[in-house]
Chains A and B, each alone.
Chain A
Amino acid sequence: MSQAAVVRQRTDPAIGRATVAGMGAADPAWLRARRDEAWAIYQATPMPSTRSEEWRYTDLARKLQLDDLVVADGHTGPAAGALLPGPLRRTMEQDGDSAGRIVDVDGKVVSVELDESLARQGVVLTSLREAARQGDDNIRRLLATAAVPATDGKFPALNAALWSDGVFLRVPSGVTIERPVRLSRWVSRSGSATFTRILIVAEASSRLSFVEETLSPDFDRTTLVNTAVEVFSRGGAQVQYVSLQRLGRGGFYLANQRTLAERDSTLDTLNVALGGSVGRVDLNARLLGPGANSDMLGLYFGDADQHFDFNTSQDHVSPHAHSDLLYKGALDGSARGVFRGIIRVHEGAQGTDAYQTNRNLILSDDAIATSLPNLEIGADDVRCSHGATVGQLDAEALFYLMSRGLTRGRAERLVVLGFLGEVLSRLPLGGVVEKVTNAIVAKLRNV
């Protein structure tokens, strides 16, 4: 797909009041009101600046000119039935088995497929926009309210005002989806801003895994993809959420993710950042009931001037819950990696088990990793730990491998793959491990 440089024309939708109104034109009244309210919050909220601790290492004012962007309003995507772009088709072919698939092109859902037997059991997989317009009560209650509300910050507000489409997945009580549900997202327009949302509800004792992949060509202008991800696991449910960020250069990925794990449920996440020029993920895991468990995994591999920033929090609201975070990154070229994480044990959350580890492997003299783990503990009977490391390739390890006949290049690749592979081995979903491994290998060939 060609990607002619787009300079915003007067008629192109800009980030502004008129676009919010246009986006909501066909929405029900409650949703229009929610957009308006979000827009008001957006306007009243200052742009995050490097003076705030959470944005200290990612200078939005310098890296992102919102006024230049053309909002993807859902009208610029391909016509129904049009052939999908080649890179998107190829990555979809590499996916393993799926229980359902949804394809989103330039902020608009263009196809939805769901295993018929699951549909018969009441599983809903659909365009978020369609579901909202049809008045699904779950959406009215949960969309941008309990998980990522507009009040969360500048970009959650902007997304709540301007989202064009997204995914709604609901699995009824007791229903198990064995194979992953996949979202394949493609952004084609250079200089565009895509606002999209995901709402996942796993009812009591249900099981699901969801893999989201974002792809694009390289862009000659900054191109924004902003997502708001809301995941609810009710009592005893088991949920895995995976995000693969594989944008082209020029891509600016901003994700706000919140997971809410109720009693005895498992809600695991994996964030993989490989593409784009800038990637910022804010992930908040809330442990809301005893026995709730969240494994939080992250993997990033930056080269050239890529900049990845992860801001995570583990909120132990309830006693006797467990969370375990492992983020690992390799940085080459003049890439920058930032990890800032906090474990918050709320008052009275006795019996909390919470761990946080960030490890970085620096492959060049100009790459930088910043790691800021943190603890905030409001209970006395807890087990918490946090740790961070920034290291270089171990010369002794390289010699060991070379002494078995591996060239230096192969030895380095093997060490990096092993280092990052530990993360994937903890959440080995079909299609994900192979795809991410191949993408890492492709990047390593340039090392």
Chain B
Amino acid sequence: MDNAPILNVAALRARVADEDLDILKGVDLAIKPGEIHAIMGPNGSGKSTLAKVIAGHPAYEPTGGLVNFDGEDLLEMEPDERAQAGVFMAFQYPVEIPGVSIANFLRTALQARLEDGEELDLFDFQELLMDRMELLEMDPSFAQRSVNDGFSGGEKKRNEILQMAILNPSLAVMDETDSGLDIDALKIVANGVNTLKKENPDISVLLITHYQRILNHVTPDVVHVMVDGRIVESGGPEVALALEARGYEEYRNAHAA
């Protein structure tokens, strides 16, 4: 395994575009290929902002520091270029795209990776799609539905995992993918991550979560605690357990002091 981090975040500061106050106030984070990192933190700590800045959400604006991905300056890239480079973000609130089938969407996404003039082979695509759906134990008819249109919370998460399986990123950022989910839906996400990880051990995963519970199903290599725009503690899975027992108060007080 390569020892250089695939993702290197250093002194990253960012704010909501057109607002004065930084939400991220100097984040440092390095993830090596194949590692699973979890970032936990209370509401408003900036953990979801970190995910969106990595993916290139236009509503957020970096104001300092750097994000290096696989040797490239991610902050200089458009969201689609980041995706092409191998970054994938599973959305907390996946967006409905009425009238566009999942299959069509994924086909267009794969086509976008090809050079101009190159055509995606439709049979190869169909085979890949069926193979991935089988791996994730999904009904083939699912791919014919419009993207997230009228989906339940669980179906939306399932769709995110399917996209991840097709696009096969080198870094998957799971943005509060477990929020508002019942235990079955949470298991969809966890099983999906585990299945894909097993198949491709080099995938790095950044799990952003408010709760400890998803970590009962996905075992992280490193757990970070984020409070007020900074990572205030990093350690093994025991950090999450301690946090579950004690809550975030202690960190907040320590940080305020």
Q: Which residues of A contact B (CB under 8 A)?
A: 394-397, 399-408, 410-411, 414-415, 417-422, 425
Q: Which A residue's beta carbon lies closest to that of B146?
A: A418
With A403-B79, A405-B80, A418-B100 already in contact, the answer to whether A396 and B95 are too (CB < 8 A) is: yes
Known: A399-B57, A399-B79. A404 touches B99 (CB 8 A): no
- B interface residues (Cβ-Cβ under 8 A, vs A): 55-59, 78-80, 82-84, 88-89, 91, 94-100, 104-106, 108-109, 112-113, 146, 163, 167
Residues of A near B146 (CB, < 8 A) are 418
Nearest-neighbour CB distance to chain A for B99, whole angstroms, equals 3
Sample of 7 A–B contacts (CB below 8 Å)? A397-B95, A397-B96, A404-B83, A404-B105, A408-B80, A415-B100, A418-B146
Q: Is the CB of B98 within 8 A of A405?
A: no
B113 smallest CB distance to A (angstroms): 6
A403 pairs with B97, CB closer than 8 A: no
What residue of chain A has the Cβ atom nearest to residue B79's Cβ?
A: A402
Say yes or no: A403-B112 contact (C-beta < 8 A), given A397-B95, A419-B99, A425-B99.
no
Indicate if the CB atoms of A414 and B97 lie closer than 8 Å: yes
Contacts A405-B113, A418-B98 supplied; 5 other A-B pairs, CB < 8 Å = A403-B55, A404-B83, A404-B88, A404-B109, A405-B109
Known: A400-B91, A418-B146. A407 touches B98 (CB 8 A): no
Q: How far is the CA of A401 from the CA of B100 in the complex (A)?
A: 11
- Identify the closest chain B residue to A425 (Cβ): B99
Which residues of chain B are within 8 angstroms of A404 by Cβ–Cβ distance?
83, 88, 105-106, 109, 163, 167
Smallest distance from the beta carbon of B116 to chain A beta carbons, Å?
11
**Neighbour of A400 across the interface among B78, B95, B112, B167, CB < 8 A:** B95
Q: When chains A and B are docked, how far (Å) is the Cα of A402 from the Cα of B97? A: 13
Say yes or no: B97 contacts A405, CB within 8 Å: no
Known A-B contacts A405-B84, A407-B112, A425-B99; A400 and B94 likewise in contact (beta carbons under 8 Å): yes
Please, how many angstroms separate the alpha-carbon atoms of A401 and B109 in the complex?
8
Do residues B97 and A397 form an inter-chain contact, with CB atoms below 8 A?
yes
Q: Are A421 and B97 in contact (CB under 8 A)?
A: no
**Alpha-carbon distance between A425 and B146 when the two chains are bound, in angstroms:** 12
Complex: A245 Cα to B236 Cα, angstroms: 65
Select which of A397, A406, A415 is within 8 A of B80 by beta carbon: A406
Report the minimum CB–CB distance from A208 to chain B (whole Å): 28
Q: A421 to B99, Cβ gap below 8 A? A: yes
Query: B82: nearest residue on chain A (CB-CB)?
Result: A403
A395 touches B58 (CB 8 A): yes
A290 to B86, CA, bound (A): 59
Distance, CA A419 to CA B100, complexed state (A): 8
Asked if A414 and B105 sit within 8 Å, CB to CB, the answer is yes
- If A407-B112, A414-B108 touch, whether A402 touches B100 (CB-CB below 8 Å) is no
Which B-chain residue is minimally distant from A397 (CB atoms)? B95
B113 neighbours in A (Cβ, 8 Å): 405
- Asked if B80 contacts A402 (CB within 8 A), the reply is yes
CB closest residue in chain B, given A415: B97
Report the bound CA distance from A400 to B109 in whole Å. 11
Which residues from chain B contact A418 at a C-beta distance below 8 Å?
A: 97-100, 146
Q: Say whether, besides A410-B112, A414-B105, A414-B108, A403 and B56 are in contact (CB < 8 Å).
A: yes
